[in-house]
Amino acid sequence: MSGGPATGHAVIDKSEIETLIQGLWKSGYTVVGPTIAQSAIVIDEIKSAADLPIGWTDLQEGGSYRLKKRDDQAYFGYAVGPHSWKKYLFPARLTLYTIKKNAAELEIIAPDPAPRYAFLGVRGCDLRAIEVQDRTFLQGAYVDPHYKARREQALVIAVNCAQAASTCFCTSMGTGPRARGGYDLALTEFADRFLVEVGSERGQGVLASLASRPAVQADLVLADNQARATAESMTRTLDVSDMPGLFYENLDHPRWDQVAERCLSCTNCTMVCPTCFCHSVDDVPDLAGETSQRVRVWDSCFNPEFSHVAGGNTRPQIRERYRQWLTHKLASWVDQFGVSGCVGCGRCITWCPVGIDLTEETAAIRGRLEA
């Protein structure tokens, strides 16, 4: 028995995803979502539903990532990959402005207008990551105009997770596996259809362009059961109690030396992290001396040069750089922005070449693992 209609929800057939993508392009959006490239499920421009990783999943462990064929034709049957939506809201390389020499004058040229993105397939942990970066770039005395322009135009279509990687721990961070606000539409995938939840007026307008029917209570129950099963399948956890105090009181813990023996200081963890925002600003002149660009580029606290100041380097050793990253991520970020810098996506564990696991490092500092 299906029960009565579920208000605020609708159901669409899977074929409507193609209609959705084509309609967004026609409305002037650049649609970006999951697709397969370089043996991974990455985020890139998608032109049709055929570009989605239909029938594929990923197997993730510490320092290991592999694709595998599924037994079904799920559109979104995978956990998060190496890319996050940060690459579009806070690009790895962005020209802030260009200065051009014209006779005896200098002309300042503004960058191109911000693109209008539609994000398809945003997971709960990444929704929280976007919220975290919103606090960094949009709140407080100084607003980043480049981030603001991209963020305001972005249409966000979330997809609730039906599968967790072994490196996921979003339940510990309260960020998933279901989307918890911050979206225009949220999809839950079933075998033959999607349950759609509207999160904004803009999302309502998008849904109106699709062939949909009212959801019934049974659809909501199925979605709840799916989310519960996904949460229960997670094997990693992170105790977040008194996190700032834990790290501030253990700056000289021997675990920092032990993790430094393994850490390559390669910056992978910060590059795949959906919230890290360290960057440098460079002036790049051309060889003729006619133009110069001011460019913002992603950087990392694991780069030795990042902490080099007049008089020397404040963090010359890997031990100090790893401690800075983890302490900032889980402790001082809370002091700065009122929220943790970690969303439990597990990317830093999967894409660390030596499989360093921040949940294990934190447990060791708490004394719950052998130091």
Per residue in 5-27, pLDDT (tens digit) is: 545 899 999 999 999 999 999 99
Sole residue written with tokens 């579009």: 88
Please give the pLDDT value at position 255: 96
DSSP 332: I
CA–CA separation, 256 vs 320, rounded Å?
Answer: 8
Instruction: Confirm whether pTM is higher than 0.75.
Output: yes
- Tell me the mean pLDDT in the region 343-371: 90
Confidence of residue 47 (pLDDT cuts 50, 70, 90): very high
Place of tokens 């135009």: 153
Instruction: Give per-residue pLDDT as tens, 234-255.
Output: 999 999 999 999 999 999 999 9
One-letter identity of residue 172: S
Given the structure tokens 């399948």, which residue do they identify? 233
Give the containing element (helix H, strand E) for 219.
helix 217-232
Within 8 A by CB and 6+ apart from 336, the residues are none
How far is residue 191 from each of residues 21, 59, 197, 226, 370, measured CA to CA in Å? 20, 21, 17, 12, 44
Q: pLDDT grade, residue 288 (50/70/90)?
A: confident
Strands annotated E in the chain: 5-13, 30-37, 40-45, 56-61, 64-69, 93-102, 105-109, 117-122, 155-159, 185-189, 193-198, 212-216, 279-285, 291-298, 308-309, 312-313
Residue-wise pLDDT for 106-129, tens only, equals: 899 998 899 999 999 999 999 999
Domains of the chain, residue spans: 5-90+113-232, 243-275+301-366
pLDDT value at 2 more than 70 = no
Cβ atoms of 189 and 74 within 8 Å: the answer is: yes
CA dihedral (350, 355, 358, 363) positive or negative? positive
Give the confidence band of 371 by pLDDT, cuts at 50, 70, 90. very low
- Own/partner pairs, 305-312, CB within 8 angstroms, 24+ separation: 306/278, 306/280
pLDDT at 4 over 50: no
Cβ contact 100:109 at 8 Å: yes
- What integer pLDDT is reported at residue 370 of this predicted model? 52
Name beta bridge partners: 107.
100
The pLDDT of residue 312 is 84
The pLDDT of residue 310 is 83
Residue 292 has pLDDT above 80, yes or no: yes
More confident residue, 311 or 168: 168
Residues 6+ apart with CB under 8 A from 245: 331
Q: What pLDDT, on a 0 to 100 scale, did the predictor assign at position 7?
A: 53
What is the mean pLDDT of the segment spanning 277-294?
93
Structure token pair of residue 224? 């709840």
In the prediction, which pLDDT does 369 show?
57
Per-residue pLDDT at 183: 97
Helix (H, G, I), strand (E, B) or coil at 117: strand
Q: What is the DSSP letter of 27?
A: T
- Average pLDDT over the chain reads 94
Segment 70-102, tens digit of pLDDT:
999 999 999 999 999 999 999 999 999 999 988
* Res 1 pLDDT > 50: no
